[in-house]
Amino acid sequence: MMISGEGVGRENQPGTPRLLRALNERILVDHLRKNGPLSRAQLARATGLSKPTVSNALGNLERVGLVRPTGEKSAERGGRHGVLYEADPTAGYVLGIDIGRSWIRVAVSDLAGTIVVRRDGRNQAQTAPTLVNMTTDLAKKTVAEAGLNWSQVVHTVVGTPGVFDQPGGRVILAPNLPGLEQHGVIELLQNALGPGLTVENDANLAALGERVFGGGREVDTFVFLTIGTGLGMGIITNGTLYRGAHGAGGEVAYLPLGMPTLPNAESNVGKRGMLEEAVAARGIVSSALAMGMQPPVSAKRIFADARAGDRLALAVIEHETQLLAQAIAAVAAVLDPEMVVIGGGIGQNFDLLGQRLEHHLHEITLIRPRIVPSTLDQDVVLLGAIATGLEIANDLVFQQRAGDGHANSAT
C-alpha cells in the first residue's frame, strides 16, 4: 500500500511530518533501485506521490548521497528535458566471503550488486586463529584494491559449512573445516571484520545466489544441492530461504542413506553424516577404491577417467548418482520443489551426473523435479553472500542517512 502525505485521512496519518518524509523517501529509493533511472515525472506517476513531494524528497536524498542524477530524459511532446535519477550505488559497499575447505573467496560489491573487486586465496589453515587471520587478510586486501576505506563497507556476510548456533555463538556441524567449530571463532571474526557481520551456511547462500543472480530467478520453490568436500542443501520455498527450527534445514548430509553397499567399503560416518560420507569427495574416493581403482585416487581423477571412457570410473559415477537420486527422491517427497540445482566441486561435473540422476530418479519415484546445473559455478556462494549483504546494507544506509533531510554520514 502506498503511503504518502497526499490523500491520507487525518485518522490514518502515520505520525509526524518527519516520518511521512522518511516513508516517501523510502518509496522513491526502493523504486529507483528496482526500476531506475527515472525522472521526477515518471516517479510521480509510478508512486502516486505529487511532483512537489517527489522533488523535495529527491532533493533530500541527493543531498545525503542516496540518489544521484544520471542523465536526461528526452522531452515528450515538446516539453522540457527531465533529469534522470538513480539510487547511488556508491553510498555503501558489501563484502561477501566464502570460506571453503580449499579456497577462501572474497568480493566487494556496491549497493547495486556490481562486483568491484574479487579475489581468491588458498585455504591452508589448520587452526581457528590461522583461518581468521587468512580470511581477514584477504578481505582487507580486497577492500584496499577496490580503492575503499574499511568504513565504507556497510555489511559483511561470511558463508561457511555447518550451521551457526545463535545461542552458543558458534558454528556447529562443520567437520570439514579445522577449528571452525571452536568457541570464540565468530567473536574473532567480528573483532577482525567489524560488528556488521552475518554468518550463514554456504548451501543456504548458494540457494540465495541462484535465486537472485542465477537460474532460480523465475522459480519460487527449489533446492540447491552442493556436492564437494562436504554435502549440503539450501531450500527456497515461495521465494524465501527456509532454515528450519534450529538452522539445520537442508542438512541432507545426515540423511540415513548410503551405508556401504560395496565389498570392502569402509564406513566412518562420525560427525560427517551418513550420506555425506558416501557421496562427497571422501565417499566417492572410498567407493572407487572399494571397486578396485588403483591409488592414487581423487575425485578429480575419477571424473577425468570417466570422460575418457574408463569403465571402472563410470561404474563409480553410476553408484554415486544412484545414491544422490535416492536423496533427491526423499527431498522431493517432502518439499515438492520445482527444480533441484546441482553445484559444488563434484556437482560441477553435471555432464556426467545429470542424465544419470534423472534416469535413477525416474526408476524410484513419480515425483520428479527438474534437475539442472548451477549457472554460477564456483561463485554461487559468494554471490549469495553479496545478495544477503545487499538486503541488509541498503536498509542500514537508508536508516543512517534519510528522513530528516541532512546526512549523518555522507561519503
Contact 233, 226 (CB under 8 A): yes
CA angle in degrees (0–180, nearest 5) for 358-360-365: 90
DSSP state for residue 4 in the 8-state scheme: -
pLDDT at 329: 98
* Same domain, yes or no: 268 and 357: yes
Asked if the structure places residue 405 within a domain, the reply is no
Q: What domain range is 352 assigned to?
A: 217-375
In this prediction the pTM is: 0.86
Percent of the chain with pLDDT over 70: 89
Residue 339 has pLDDT above 50, yes or no: yes
Burial of 225 (C-beta count, 10 Å sphere; 0-12/13-18/19+): buried
* Same domain, yes or no: 173 and 273: no
Tell me how far CA of residue 236 lies from CA of 28, 212, 299, 375, in angstroms.
29, 11, 29, 16
Mean pLDDT (whole number) for 73-96: 81
* Same domain, yes or no: 233 and 371: yes
Write out the three cell numbers for 112: 547495486
Q: What is the CATH number of the domain that holds 15?
A: 1.10.10.10
CA angle in degrees (0–180, nearest 5) for 405-409-410: 75
* Same domain, yes or no: 193 and 246: no
Asked if the structure places residue 408 within a domain, the reply is no
* Same domain, yes or no: 225 and 365: yes
Asked if the structure places residue 64 within a domain, the reply is yes
Name the CA radius of gyration of the chain, rounded.
25
Question: 38-77 burial string, b = 16+ CB within 10 Å, else e?
Answer: bbbebbbeebebeeebbebbbebbeebbbbbeeeebeeee
Residue 77 has pLDDT above 80, yes or no: no
Asked if the structure places residue 314 within a domain, the reply is yes
**Which is more confidently placed, 261 or 360?**
360
- CA 249 – CA 386 distance, rounded (Å): 21
* Same domain, yes or no: 180 and 202: yes
* Same domain, yes or no: 276 and 187: no
Asked if the structure places residue 211 within a domain, the reply is no
| Domain boundary pick from 87, 108, 134 | 87
Residue pLDDT, tens place only, 269-291:
455 789 999 999 999 999 999 99
- CA 212 – CA 202 distance, rounded (Å): 15
Mean pLDDT (whole number) for 330-355: 97
Q: What is the CATH number of the domain that holds 96?
A: 3.30.420.40
Q: Which of 344, 347, 389 shows the shortest CA–CA distance to 97?
A: 389
- CA 266 – CA 296 distance, rounded (Å): 17
pLDDT interval class at 408 (50, 70, 90):
very low
* Same domain, yes or no: 70 and 97: no
| Domain boundary pick from 35, 59, 87 | 87
**Which is more confidently placed, 247 or 322?**
322
Residue 238 has pLDDT above 70, yes or no: yes
* Same domain, yes or no: 190 and 284: no
Residue 105 has pLDDT above 60, yes or no: yes
* Same domain, yes or no: 253 and 368: yes
Helix axes 299-307, 281-290, angle to 10 degrees: 60
Characterize the bridge pairing of strands 339-343 and 222-227. parallel
- CA 53 – CA 56 distance, rounded (Å): 5
Residue 383 has pLDDT above 90, yes or no: yes
* Same domain, yes or no: 178 and 303: no
* Same domain, yes or no: 154 and 117: yes
State the average pLDDT for the chain.
88
Tell me how far CA of residue 352 lies from CA of 180, 244, 316, 356, 374, in angstroms.
33, 32, 11, 7, 14
| Domain boundary pick from 87, 116, 136 | 87
Asked if the structure places residue 2 within a domain, the reply is no
Backbone phi and psi for residue 255, each to the nearest 5 degrees, phi listed first: -60, 140
pLDDT at 179: 77
Expressed in angstroms, the distance from the first to the final Cα of the chain is 32
- CA 139 – CA 160 distance, rounded (Å): 15
Residue pLDDT, tens place only, 361-379:
999 999 999 999 999 989 9
Residue pLDDT, tens place only, 19-69:
888 899 999 999 999 998 999 999 999 999 999 999 999 999 999 999 999
Asked if the structure places residue 337 within a domain, the reply is yes
CA dihedral over 115, 119, 122, 123, signed as positive or negative: negative
- CA 233 – CA 78 distance, rounded (Å): 57
Residue pLDDT, tens place only, 112-165:
999 999 999 999 888 888 999 999 999 999 999 999 999 999 999 999 998 888
CA angle in degrees (0–180, nearest 5) for 340-361-255: 70
How many domains are contained in the chain?
3
Asked if the structure places residue 172 within a domain, the reply is yes
- CA 83 – CA 208 distance, rounded (Å): 35
- CA 342 – CA 231 distance, rounded (Å): 11
